[in-house]
Structure 1
């Protein structure tokens, strides 16, 4: 008889309660998916390995502090951590998208263009125009904050000073912009990852 797989949620609970082996099972179970996800963003094995390690260091710290409350959605939670660490990596290496002199922006400035073959270039152009179109659909105040934050790399303090609103209002607008972007992306079934 096949042994039933233990749920992620049970393994997380067991780990929090001191069963160290539960974490190894979780890591082994999801390693391939998380590793592939990170690699698809950074295209470098060493960086992928570093981000993967950092992801699980953060997972362990969060679980140990009892701050985990994802209602059994362990993998999406870990993926979010990995995604944020990938963004941190690009920020540290100042390869985050920024405006260039033409005022155009590129979410793909994080990839080296030489690595794009013809097919990827077509996909890249399509996704960029999709993203531009989606951003244009946002209310003006949300669009303004999103563009300043993502493409001009401004802090919320700078955005607050530039727009004359409080930092909390700027944060709120960014939050609503992201919620609205997600809705539009789902409505249009746009896939933003390769």
Structure 2
């Protein structure tokens, strides 16, 4: 016997849920994190989870489920920010008062060149998603729509690009 919730939600169902609840979620999340970039990222994460497990929810409780997932993601974001701030504060306390290496224009220029070179080594698909997200500040939904690819593919390409860049940049730092 199969459950009525075993089929994955269709793109049309997900788009309808986004259309119906997206703006309300944005306003809600603004009250929690007060940063539009983070609000967009949290909404994308929330709808990615809807794509993955939304079919396991009751249709009449999906709005509540979306808000609950978004709220949990927002709280996780706030916890990460607090941890990040504490780590930065400790690093700043341990640094000498004079200028840091990143303040040196030559070092900054070399770092920029290294990152550009690492980006150029990525496949064209990964480069395109990376540039659209970082330099054009587009959401993953906008990227997916413009490239005519599923949202999950856009998210996956960005994740792959970041993993490959981390690997390439870590390798160049070990050589330095």
TM class by smaller structure: 0.3 to 0.5
Report which of the two has the higher share of helix: 2
- TM-score, normalised with respect to structure 2: 0.42
